[in-house]
Structure 1
Amino acid sequence: MIERMLVANRGEIARRVQAACRARGISTAAVFSDPDAGARFVLEADVAVRLPGSSPAETYLRIDAVVAAALACGADAVHPGYGFLSENAAFARAVLAAGLTWVGPTPESIDAMGSKVAAKALVAAAGVPVLAELDPASVTEADLPILVKASAGGGGRGMREVHALAELEEAVAAAQREAASAFGDGTVFCEPLLRGARHVEVQLMADTHGTVWTLHERDCSLQRRHQKIVEESPSPGVDATTRTRLHAAARAAAGALGYVGAGTVELLLGDDGRLAFLEVNTRLQVEHPVTEAVHGIDLVGWQIAVAEGAVLPAEPPAAHGHAVEVRLYAEDPSQDWRPASGTLHRLHVPGVDTEFGVPPGAHGLRLDSGVVDGDEVGVHYDPMLAKLIAHGPDRASALRRLVTALRGAEIHGLTTNRGLLVGLLTHPAFTTGGVDTGWLDARDPATLVAGPARVDLAVLAAALVLAERGGSRRATPTGWRNLPSAPVRTTFTHGDDEHVVDHLLVHGRLQSAGDVDHAGVELVSLTPTGAVLAVDGVRHAFRVAVHGAQVEVDSPLGAVSLRWQDPLPEPRAVLAAGAMVAPMPGAVVRVSVTQGQLVAAGDEVLVLEAMKMEHRVLAPTAGTVASVAVAQGDQVAAGTVLAVVSADVPEDAAEPAEERA
């Protein structure tokens, strides 16, 4: 019996495993990097051991340091979570060699699936359909389009689509860099890109006594850049015959491996019914809660039980209802999925029935999060904040519950993909079950974001609340006015837009309201935390939270994040015309221009790596590179000047290469 479990991971999955351990009376141990010293998963563990350093390579990917930490804190078992070392056979062997219990499949199974190239050959021999493997060095025009994939790891990292041979060399190099950074292995390979396919996977759970469960399939087709953001079970439109084929393929793969523990067989399902093997994830998946919901089981609990030698029942609990999960990321989909960092002031989702477990009733809403109010979200790790899972008697009810929860959530301090998630879950293509793996990447995400219905009302409510709080330097507390006075002016920015509100309250009544016509708007009530406005007789309640210059307005009309413009700002340095600044903290992995070079608008100037993904920084306008302020390998903070592109072009300057061509 396991007495103390070391969770060799961080964030949401560390908290998930800790919750399962606590439910079984198992003591928990955490390891943490320096940026994670105050993280929730560290504070909730019974004991914790520091791994000095910040990057994954220095900390969570160091086998020797993690095993030493387990021994130092008296752990007798290790759960790897997902990501990091979870699919590293050397880590599993090191844990076992140290006399500890490994909560996962055998090192031999991990080895067999650790190389996607070898894995495809193994399962193909067992009768599982696979796509042809292509050597990057021998790809021809006839092979296109193809997908470059990391042989180790997953989660969309180390993957690039190639539609022209001219793109291949850089796609391979970028995939190798990402894979090496995320998994410690830069090996990549290529395979045909199957268009119009859906991503469908089957959950495995197997014990050491020969029992293998294949649980209801999950559909993970709604992806951005090969990273899943919405998952559900069962897969819409999959009939009984296809489900039988999916389970048969999963059982064949499990049999070829002699599989033990939790794992997932991932496949592509073509619109013609064709199946093609992707990989076996020899670990727990991010999307495991949807399977837990429809089957009413605790997969992490079963992982622990199997590691202790338990026998699975002959058949798993029957599936019921429908579950949908979304991944809430700190990122801006409209800005090339730019990750966000900073303080998460507030994360509250109304109507949550449980965290890190199956809801107590037949159906419900679940939240799994690695962060809480006040936490700092850094740049070293994945930007996922939380997973929200709705389970209902059918797909429509689960989607409605999930959309309602997202719309009502209070998420303050960071830009997130919440608006995009709402837009996707309500899009006709998704609600009818018609999306494939390429659907989202083929669209501009900015056009899919569900924005607030009335920004103007939110801005007015924010201005009124700021004045009530005395937050504007020109605002006089409204309760002390007994005669008409000059209007109070408050200026906000919302995205790229500026909003100026001039309002005047006389005996508590709203007299004027600035740059937007608010005829027909009545102030019903006002407090330091909110306002109720009536529009043509219909009342709307606005909750207003002020975090320094950041003002967050939540209402049934939609969430609005504003920046209050101080009328008497502190002086600050003025950037040179054409200066390009770092949109986020990160590391410079490539500088693509030199001083004096002519560039066109949209040309790549450099590449930053942040949160384990690469982000291209592009020239905002055509001109000449006046200066380059950073070099490859530099660590930069958000707002750091990276380069300056002057709009002046010398008469004898050469044209950009692509224009010359």
Structure 2
Amino acid sequence: MFHKVLVANRGEIARRVIASAKSLGYRTVAVYSEPDCDAPHVRLADEAVCIGKGLASDSYSNINNILHAARITGSDAIHPGYGFLSENADFAEACNEQGLVFIGPDSKSIELMGSKRAAKEVMLASNVPCIPGYEGKEQSDKALTSAAESIGYPIMVKASAGGGGRGMRVVNHASELEGALKSARSEAASAFGCDELILEKAMTSVRHIEIQVFADIYGNTIHLGERDCSMQRRHQKVIEEAPSPALTPELRELMGQAAISAAKACNYVGAGTVEFLLTSENEFYFLEMNTRLQVEHPVTELVTNLDLVEWQLRVAAGEKLPLTQDQIQLNGHAIEVRLYAEDPANGFMPQTGTISLWQPALTDSVSGDAFNGIRVDSGIQQGNQISAHYDPMLAKFIAYGDNREQARRRLLRLVQDSHLLGLRDNRCFLSELLQSEAFVSGQATTDFIRDKFTSNASLTSQVVTHEEWLLAALLLSEGPQVESSNLQTTLSFERPIKLGCGDHLRTVKISKECPSSYRISFESKELDQTPIEFQLIECSGHQLRYIADGVMKTATFSINRNGEVPELWLASHRGNLRFTDQTFMVTKDSKAGSSQVLASMDGVVVDLLVEQGQTIKCGDVLIVVEAMKMEHPLRAGMDGIVGNINAQPGDQVKGRQLLIELEE
């Protein structure tokens, strides 16, 4: 028995767990880092405790700080969510030693399945089919090189303790292996505290299928069907759906029973996920087992009409599983995508900044409750600062339908009509994927994005349209009137405004002769001189209704006038656009071009690959910065010689900080 649950996590999963715990009558405790003091999950819980500074190692991954929070609040159970300490065997054991109920499997199961190497050995002994590879204890480069030659290229190098694509490298030729081993070890040690690797035969044109399993302390183990997670980028899931369009009832039963065997092989208790690769010939191979709740668990909840967090709490409290295998029914179809603070057109670079508008469409953004088949699980709110300390996932969009196509249409509209302003995000990328022929037909494999999607418009620099430039000029020029809904001012005028957007500058001429009507055009003769007549109709919150060229439209925007220059974020179907009013800015000549290597964002220097005086070529990797759990190699923008080096491994750096200076 337990009475108060501390949720050792943040963001949308913390909100999700707190909501289910409260619905069952439990008291709840949130923990938070200093940057998260205003986060939604903090206010949702009955109590909250600050557990450290921004770095995860100082807060959400700090076992002592979390256990202290449990002691001072009288918590008698801990739910780890996913990520951070959720698959940390030492944390589960520490909870047990402190007399706390760990809402998850025991430490032995976590330790066993947390090692891909050890897990494969157990699966092979239990006759669960596994991918050919090397999972030996000998970890020298010589042993791994020899194993790679025996397996045959291409191969996958994987962090034994890894997940989420971190510490994972594809190696096509023997000449690439040494570098892949070094970088995979480094990333694995940084992300998971363990640099142990395994090798597997690289499998192409396969599907990624995972089976949700559940077990109680009485030996009952069942599965709740599958999720298809084949739409991936760099081994990270982008779209997840249930059920899989590729599985027949017979294949579902075979994979479900294999997953149950895998769970029983490690005496599993609680919610877990067994992941497989499925070939076009319907042969499947064990990939790994995640000993926690998955990010994509909502699609299973929608097709089974079950609350998986509630099940976790009930099993942890000593109850039997609420249903037997024969009672599990799958109805309809559900699809989920992950909203990330990243710029797909810039190599998916993680983004930081302040959320100036968060407006999910067609749903209650506070509770995340499903409405007409739509559900949004988020851990953000307007005004939150998105930092470089944590994973860039901000929310999940989920849609349910009577069939797959209905769910896809609902999700597409949800993605397109939701707004997140203040930073770039991946909604356009998600929208394009949901409309791709491969996904619509249910034929996507894990190679699709890499092999067939790289030329998609969502992955190229956004071109600002004629109308977007002119609308931005109007909003920045007339902002106070627009934001106060005072659209009927009669003052006539004609004036220019200079706008910046990315690396581009435009001067726009705005004239007004009657209330709420404007005539706007570019001043430069080299640009399209066709003016646009704008008639403003209504402004409500962050939405402006207007008529342009005879068509009534709605623009979503936010304006910030508190910084060095007035700033406008404008929603576009291709992505969020940031405009600045440069009318009164004094420009200075700058030599901050290719001769300077700047930090791409806030982070930690993890590797310095050059020394002062060294000759380098354009494109060479000079320094590596880790941010948002990923390594970001920074390259030379010119041929030359390394001059001043202003950062060393272990240094905390800020975005745009000068790290290395190059000389001709």
Taking structure 2 as the reference length, the TM-score comes to 0.90
Q: What's the CA shift for 1:444?
A: 6.2
Name 2:35's counterpart in structure 1.
Answer: 35
Query: What are the residue-to-residue correspondences of 1:361-376 with 2, within 5 Å?
Result: 364-376=373-385
Q: What's the CA shift for 1:152?
A: 1.4
CA distance in 2, matches of 1:349, 1:530: 14
What whole-Å deviation, never above 9, does each CA across 1:5-25 have from its counterpart, x for those lacking one?
Answer: 011122221111111111111
Q: What's the CA shift for 1:519?
A: 5.0
What is the RMSD of the two structures over their aligned residues, measured on CA atoms? 2.6
CA distance in 2, matches of 1:140, 1:151: 16
CA distance in 2, matches of 1:279, 1:638: 36
Name 2:631's counterpart in structure 1.
Answer: 614
Task: Summarize the Cα distance change of 1:498–1:141 in structure 2 as closer, same or farther, 3 Å threshold.
Answer: farther
Query: What are the residue-to-residue correspondences of 1:227-626 with 2, within 5 Å?
Result: 227-312=236-321, 313-315=323-325, 316-352=327-363, 359=370, 364-442=373-451, 445=454, 447-449=456-458, 455-469=465-479, 479-482=489-492, 485-493=493-501, 495-508=502-515, 509-514=517-522, 515-519=527-531, 521-525=533-537, 527=539, 531-548=544-561, 549-554=566-571, 560-569=576-585, 574-577=590-593, 578-626=595-643
Q: What's the CA shift for 1:213?
A: 2.0
Name 1:634's counterpart in structure 2.
Answer: 651
Name 2:82's counterpart in structure 1.
Answer: 82
Name 2:138's counterpart in structure 1.
Answer: none
2:458 corresponds to which letter in structure 1? Answer: V
Question: Are the equivalent residues in 1 in contact too, given 2:232–2:239 (CA < 8 A)?
Answer: yes
SS at match of 1:440: helix
2:387 corresponds to which letter in structure 1? Answer: G
Question: Are the equivalent residues in 1 in contact too, given 2:171–2:180 (CA < 8 A)?
Answer: yes
Task: Summarize the Cα distance change of 1:101–1:491 in structure 2 as closer, same or farther, 3 Å threshold.
Answer: same
Question: Are the equivalent residues in 1 in contact too, given 2:7–2:17 (CA < 8 A)?
Answer: yes
Question: Are the equivalent residues in 2 in contact too, given 1:150–1:158 (CA < 8 A)?
Answer: yes
Task: Summarize the Cα distance change of 1:629–1:243 in structure 2 as closer, same or farther, 3 Å threshold.
Answer: same
Identity of aligned residues (%): 39
Q: Which sits farther off after the overlay, 372-381 or 31-40?
A: 31-40
Q: What's the CA shift for 1:129?
A: 0.2
Name 1:220's counterpart in structure 2.
Answer: 229
CA distance in 2, matches of 1:325, 1:608: 30
Q: What's the CA shift for 1:394?
A: 1.1
Name 1:170's counterpart in structure 2.
Answer: 179
SS at match of 2:199: strand
Q: What's the CA shift for 1:459?
A: 2.5
CA distance in 2, matches of 1:519, 1:573: 32
Question: Are the equivalent residues in 2 in contact too, given 1:105–1:282 (CA < 8 A)?
Answer: yes
Q: What's the CA shift for 1:243?
A: 1.4
CA distance in 2, matches of 1:530, 1:366: 23
Question: Are the equivalent residues in 2 in contact too, given 1:331–1:415 (CA < 8 A)?
Answer: yes
Q: Among residues 143, 150, 158, which one is paired with 2:159 in the alignment?
A: 150
Task: Summarize the Cα distance change of 1:391–1:518 in structure 2 as closer, same or farther, 3 Å threshold.
Answer: farther
Q: What's the CA shift for 1:140?
A: 4.1
Q: What's the CA shift for 1:480?
A: 4.9
2:17 corresponds to which letter in structure 1? Answer: V
Matched, 1:195 2:204: yes
CA distance in 1, matches of 2:82, 2:92: 13
1:516 corresponds to which letter in structure 2? Answer: D
Q: What's the CA shift for 1:454?
A: 7.4
Mind listing any 5+ residue stretches in structure 1 that lack a counterpart?
649-661
Task: Summarize the Cα distance change of 1:512–1:54 in structure 2 as closer, same or farther, 3 Å threshold.
Answer: closer
2:620 corresponds to which letter in structure 1? Answer: D
1:309 corresponds to which letter in structure 2? Answer: G
Question: Are the equivalent residues in 2 in contact too, given 1:12–1:370 (CA < 8 A)?
Answer: yes
Name 1:651's counterpart in structure 2.
Answer: none
CA distance in 2, matches of 1:30, 1:522: 49
Name 1:652's counterpart in structure 2.
Answer: none
CA distance in 2, matches of 1:116, 1:424: 30
Task: Summarize the Cα distance change of 1:619–1:18 in structure 2 as closer, same or farther, 3 Å threshold.
Answer: same
Q: What's the CA shift for 1:356?
A: 6.3
Q: What's the CA shift for 1:535?
A: 4.4
1:637 corresponds to which letter in structure 2? Answer: K
CA distance in 1, matches of 2:520, 2:34: 52
Aligned residues: 638
Matched, 1:116 2:123: no
Query: What are the residue-to-residue correspondences of 1:52-71 with 2, within 5 Å?
Result: 52-71=52-71
Name 1:136's counterpart in structure 2.
Answer: 144
Question: Are the equivalent residues in 2 in contact too, given 1:334–1:445 (CA < 8 A)?
Answer: no
